[in-house]
Amino acid sequence: MRVITGSARGAKLATLDSDATRPTSDKVKEAIFSMIQFDLEGRTVLDLFGGSGQLAIEALSRGAEKAVIVDSSREATAIIIENAKKTKLFDRCRVSTSDYAAFLRGAAGREKFNLIFLDPPYNTALLRDSLAGIAKAGILSDGGIIVTESDTGFRGKPSKSKKETLLSDEAVIGDVFSGDRAAAGAYTILKTKIYGRTRVTLLSLGGKDGENE
């Protein structure tokens, strides 16, 4: 796993040797940063389920100003610190060993972020709950974007009709918000794309619906 481009291009990142983490694949990471390439320069980033820290580190390498990287595991935050130092980006990071909900409570009314990455373990309610917590805490800046990763539950290459189903708002609400329409109501779906089993969805608070591909 390496930094794709920017100031730390090519730097190899350490990962936690554990089933508890699921690093974003290079293909999905490249797709994510293609989607947000014009929303990075000078931005303040939050990675709420940091793992190895690769998403926040990639954002910093590409021009984000600073990043807060959170993980509940001390082993994970040790890896994040190692990676941030290896890429010479540590001075622009704050690494926090914290449960996501505790972090959001502490950040409410105190911090704002332009870009938030959410890649919690699949097949849990953590994505829905963290999105609800972000809306309540009010930490997303005006015009800010949330990038989420979730599991579509589909394997193989979808037919045209199946792809249309997977890209529907109904499917996004099911995958991203665990089917909770009340939680989904706080957000606008800017874009959703499918890469293998992974759904990448961009969200904002308010505004008009975006595009699906």
Crossing angle of the two packed helices 26-35 and 54-61, in degrees rounded to 10: 50
Range of the domain at 94: 41-212
Report pLDDT digits (tens) over 109-164.
999 999 999 999 988 999 999 999 999 999 999 999 999 999 998 887 888 898 89
Residue 208 has pLDDT above 60, yes or no: no
15 assigned to some structural domain: no
Residue 81 has pLDDT above 90, yes or no: yes
Query: 49 and 97 in contact (C-beta within 8 Å)?
Result: no
Residue 11 has pLDDT above 70, yes or no: yes
Domain at 205, CATH number: 3.40.50.150
Range name among 20-34, 92-106, 116-130, 178-192 with the lowest pLDDT average: 20-34
80 assigned to some structural domain: yes
CB burial of 153-169 (b: ≥16 within 10 Å; e: otherwise) equals: ebeeeeeeeeeeebbee
Report pLDDT digits (tens) over 19-67.
555 678 888 999 999 999 999 999 999 999 999 999 999 999 999 999 9
204 assigned to some structural domain: yes
- Pick the closest to residue 61 from 2, 112, 139 (CA basis): 2
198 assigned to some structural domain: yes
- What pLDDT is recorded for position 122? 87
179 assigned to some structural domain: yes
- What pLDDT is recorded for position 211? 52
Q: How far is CA 201 from CA 11, 13, 17, 36, 195, in A?
A: 27, 25, 27, 11, 11
CB burial of 68-95 (b: ≥16 within 10 Å; e: otherwise) equals: bbbbbbeebbebbeebbebbebbeebeb
The larger pLDDT score, comparing residue 22 to residue 69, is at 69
31 assigned to some structural domain: no
* pTM, rounded to two decimals: 0.92
Residue 209 has pLDDT above 80, yes or no: no
17: which residues sit within 8 A by CB, 6+ positions away?
Answer: none
